Structure 1
C-alpha cells in the first residue's frame, strides 16, 4: 500500500539522464505499472501509469503521475490516452483538465497530456509527504477500480484549443515539425482564415495542413484537399457554372469544393477547411478572385441569376467565418508569383529546415501514419472557432510593438511596399493569438514572427530596388556596433541566434534575400 519510496526514486531519477526503468515495481494493488523517462531521448514529462486491463497507455483511462520538470510540478491525474481516443471515460464531474489548470495558474500551456484531468497537484519545492502521497494514490486507485466508464459527453465542456496538443499528436503520428512553426500555423489560422505555406519542397507543408484537418475534424466531410491545375483560368474548378443548355441545372465541380462551402454555411458550429495544394500552378488572381474580394467585403459570391435551378445550389454563396483556406506553394519554373493583393490577405508561413532539425529527424525517422490523428482534437473544435472569432488586439508590450511597426513602415514606404491599416490590425491580432497559444514567447519573438509573415512577403524586385532597403531593415533586427553587410550579409558563418539579434527569423530571411538580389539581380520572399 506504500508507493512513496518508488515515487521518490522516480522524481530523483527524472533529474538525471538515466532512462532505465528495470528497477521499478511491475505491479501495485493488482495494477500493472508502466514507468517512462523517454525512449531514446529524455522526456520532458516523465510519467508513471497504473493500468487495469483492458486499459493501456495508448488506449484507455488510468491513474498517472506526470512530472512537469520545468515547473517543478508533480500531478496525479485521471489519465486519458493521447494515441487513441479511449472508448471508456472517467465517471467524474467538475474536474479540470490539465490545460485548464495551467491556464488558471498562469503556467502557460502544458507540453503534453493537457486532456487528462487533475486529481491532485504537488509543488515539489518542499518535497513530498509520504502519508499524503499514499492517501491520494490509494483514493484515486479506488475510484479507478470502481469506474464503470459511463459516458459523460453530455456534461463535458468543450476543451480549450491547444496547438501543443496537436503538435504532440503529430509527433506521435510520425510527422516531425518544429514546435514554434506549429504554433505560428495555428495562430495564423486563428488570426485570419487564409494561410499560405511556402518554402522548401518536401518540408511537410501539405502534410501539416492534412494532419491538422484530420486531427480537428470529426469526419472527412469537413475538408477537401484540392490539387490546383495548371489550366485553371477562372473560378469554375472551385465554384462550378450554370448549365446554359439546361437552365434548371447548375454544374458543380467534381472535387466537392462547392458542396463543402454550402455545408459550412449550414454547420456553422464546425470548422471546415479547403486546402489548395500547389496553389500557384495557375495565376491565383484568376481562379480565386471571388474569394479574395469577399474576404474583406463580407459580401456573397453570385453563382447564378435567381432562376429555376433545382439541384440545391443557392443563387448567392456566402464564404462563412468557419471556412478556413490553406494554400501550399512551391517556387520553380512551372509556377507563378503571388501579387501583393493575395499576400495582403494571408498569413504567409515559410518552411525551412535547419541542420540540427535534419539531424534530429534522421535520428528519429519513422513512417508517418496520419490515420491515428483522426478526430483526436474534435473536442477542441468549438473553442478553436471561438478563438478565431475573437478579434482582440495585442495589449501587452504594445508601445514596443507599435514603435517597431512604425520603424519598419517608414523603410518599406521608401520602396513602395508599406502596409496599410488592415495589415497593421492583423499583425496585432496575430501577436495576441501567439500570446494565447504559447505564453513563453518573448515580445521580440512575437514581433519577429509578425514581421516575417506579414511584412517581408511583399518584398520583391531588382537589386537596385531592394539592396538599400534590405540593409536598413537588417539593421533594425540587430543591436550593437554592427556593419550589416560585412558582419552579417557577407559572413557565411554568422550566428543568427546570438544575443544581440532581436529578430532572428527576419534577419536570416533578409540576408537570404540580399544575397539573392546580389547574385541574381532580383529577389522575392518566395524561394525555390
Structure 2
C-alpha cells in the first residue's frame, strides 16, 4: 500500500494519527506537506493567476505590468506555479520574483525564459492547519487550549487564546463544518501526553458514545463569553480573525462550551530517545500508529524526495466530508461498523470472505495477547473495521489482505512492549499464527487452541521480527523504538 493512501485512510477512519520512526524520516514534513497540499488544491480553483516570464534569477522579463502591479497592491506573499510545483515567493519593485526556497531556483534552472504563474498566497478561507511544537515543560492543557489570565492588558481579566484554540474556533464556524482542519503536534512525547493532552483523549472517546456532544466540552461554557470578549477587543480585521470572532460569539450567544469538532484531525509526531516519554495504552488505543522508514541516500542524490502532491484532491475532500459526517452522527446512529465496511465494497462474496477471515484472525490474536494482558476491546475491533472500509474508499483496487495487514500493524501491535520473560514466548506464538499456522499448545500456563487463517500479514510479521531482534539485543522491546 502506498504511504499516502495508508495515511489518508488512517485519518479518515480515526482523526488521530501518530507518526513514528527514526529522526529524519520525514514525519513532520509528511504531516505539514499533506495539510498544505490538501489546502492548496482545494483553493487553487479560486485563485486569479497571472502569467509572467522570468529569467534564471527570477527577474520578470515579460508580463502584463498592470496585473502584476495589482497583485503587489493586494499582498507581498505569493504562490508561484512552475510546471507541477508551487513555491512561496515575494515580488520586489514589481519586477523581481524571489524565494527563500532554493528549490524554486533549481526548478527554473539556467533558462532565461521560464513561464510561471503568480497568485496571491493568502486566501479568504485562511489557514486550515497549524504546527505546534510540544514543549518539554507541558504539564496541563493550557498550552493547547489557552487559559484565563486575571491580569491581562490594563489589568482586565482576559482569556489567553492559543493557536490551537484559534484553529478549533475556525473549525466550529458554521461555514467550515464540512472542511477538514489539521492540528500537527510535533515531538508529541517530549512531555507526558497523558497530562497535557488528557482533555482531548477523554473527549475523543466520549464523543463517540453520546447522541449530543454539547455537554462534552474541551472548554467549559462559563469561559466562552470571556473568550468572545477577548477576541472582540483585539484590533484585527483579517478574514481569519473575523471567522474566529464570529464563531466565539455564536457559541457565547447559544450558551455552549467549546467542543472538539469532528472536522479537526490531529497528527502527532514522536521520536524515542532519552529525552522523551513512552505512550500509555490509553493514548495508543485512540490513534493509528504509522511507522515511517528511512530512505536510502541515493534517493536524496537523485532528487526523488519531492513535495507531496495530491492528484485526486476533490475526491479526497469528499471522503473527508463523509468521514466528518460519519462521526457527527455516530453517537445517535444505530449503524454498525460492518455496515460501513459492506457499503464500501461491491462484491458480497469478497465481503463475506473478508469478515470471516477478520473474525478468525482477531479472535486468534486476542487469545494470544490476553495471556500477557495486551488483549484489546471493542474499540480496537471497531476501528480496524472502519480503517478497512476507508481503505476501500481511498483505493477501490486495494487488496483487502494488505489493508488488514496495516490495520494489525497500526492498531494492535503498538500496544505490545516488555522484556523477554514477559513477551518473548508471546511474540514467538504471534509470529507463528500470523504466518498462517494453527496454534495448539500451552502459552504461559494457558492452553491455546486456534485454527489457522491461511493468511500471511507481511508488514506485521516484519515488525514482529524487528521487535524480537531488539528483544534479543537489549532484553526489552516495544513497537515504538
Q: TM-score, structure 2 length as denominator?
A: 0.63
Asked if the contact 1:183–1:438 (Cα under 8 Å) also holds between the matched residues in 2, the reply is: yes
2:264 maps to what in 1?
323
Residue in 2 that maps onto 1:207? 29
Residue 179 of structure 2 corresponds to residue 293 of structure 1: no
Cα shift at 1:446? 1.7
Higher RCO structure, 1 or 2 (CA under 8 Å, sep 6+):
2
Are positions 1:465 and 2:422 aligned together? Answer: yes
What is the SS of the residue equivalent to 2:2? Answer: helix
Question: For the Cα contact (< 8 Å) 1:192–1:388, is it kept in 2?
Answer: no
Correspondence for 1:524 among 456, 459, 478: 478
* Equivalent runs, 1:191-340 vs 2, <5 Å: 191-217=13-39, 218=43, 221-245=127-151, 248-253=157-162, 256-266=163-173, 267-298=176-207, 299-303=216-220, 305=222, 309=226, 310-312=229-231, 316-340=257-281
The Cα shift of 1:393 comes to 3.7
Describe the superposition over 1:184-205 as per-residue Cα deviations: whole angstroms up to 9, x where unpaired: 1100000010000011221111
1:394 maps to 2:332:
no
* Structure 2 CA distance for aligned equivalents of residues 381 and 306 of structure 1: 33
Shift of 1:434: 1.2
1:306–1:505 distance in 2 versus 1, CA, 3 Å: closer
Q: Secondary structure at the match of 1:429?
A: helix
Where in structure 2 are the equivalents of 1:356-435 lying within 5 Å? Answer: 358=296, 361-362=299-300, 364-365=302-303, 368=306, 377=313, 380-390=316-326, 392-395=339-342, 396=351, 397-435=354-392
Deviations 1:78-137 (A, max 9, x none): xxxxxxxxxxxxxxxxxxxxxxxxxxxxxxxxxxxxxxxxxxxxxxxxxxxxxxxxxxxx
SS class of match (1:352): coil
- State the aligned residue count: 325
State the Cα deviation string for residues 263-298 of structure 1 (Å, max 9, x = none).
101021211000001111111011100100110112
In 1, Cα distance between equivalents of 2:402 and 2:265:
25
Q: Take 1:332 and 1:285, find their aligned partners in 2: how far apart are those partners?
A: 18
Tell whether 2:462 aligns with 1:511: no
Question: RMSD value over aligned CA atoms?
Answer: 2.6
Distance 1:211 1:252, change over 3 A: same
**Aligned in 2, Cα 1:239/1:518: closer, same or farther, shift over 3 Å?**
same
Cα gap change, 1:227 to 1:436, in 2 (>3 Å): same
Deviation at 1:206, TM superposition (A): 1.1
- Would the aligned equivalents of 2:134 and 2:190 in 1 still touch at CA under 8 Å? yes
Structure showing the higher helix proportion among its residues: 2
C-alpha distance in structure 2 between counterparts of 1:250 and 1:340, whole Å:
33
Conservation of the 8 A alpha-carbon contact between 1:479 and 1:502: yes
375-384 or 446-455: bigger deviation? 375-384
**Aligned residues of 2:33 and 2:307 also touching (Cα < 8 A):** no
Shift of 1:368: 4.3
Tell me, yes or no, if the aligned pair for 2:224 and 2:257 is still in contact at 8 Å.
no
> Deviation at 1:365?
1.7
Cα distance in 2 for partners of 1:453, 1:233 equals 27
CA offset at residue 364 of structure 1? 3.0
- Give the match for residue 181 of structure 1: 3
Question: 1:321 Cα shift?
Answer: 0.5
8 Å Cα contact 1:216/1:375 also seen in 2: no
Displacement after TM superposition at 1:303 (Å)? 4.3
**Structure 1 partner of 2:242:** none
5+ residue gaps, structure 2, are 44-122, 208-215, 232-247, 327-336, 343-350, 440-453
| In structure 1, distance between residues paired with 2:224 and 2:283 | 33
Gaps of 5+ in 1: 1-178, 483-499
Spell out, residue by residue over 1:137-184, the C-alpha distance to the aligned partner (whole angstroms, 9 max, x if none): xxxxxxxxxxxxxxxxxxxxxxxxxxxxxxxxxxxxxxxxxx622211
Distance 1:376 1:522, change over 3 A: same
Partner of 1:476: 433
3-state DSSP of counterpart to 1:316: coil
**1:301 Cα shift?**
1.5
Kept in 1, the 8 Å contact 2:221–2:258? The answer is: no
Contact map agreement 2:20 2:269 (CA 8 A) in 1? yes
Secondary structure at the counterpart of residue 325 of structure 1? strand
Q: Is the alpha carbon distance of 1:471 and 1:375 closer, same or farther for their aligned partners in structure 2, counting shifts above 3 Å?
A: closer
Distance 1:332 1:222, change over 3 A: same
Q: How much has 1:436 moved relative to structure 2? A: 2.1
For the 8 Å contact 2:194–2:283, the answer to whether it is kept is yes
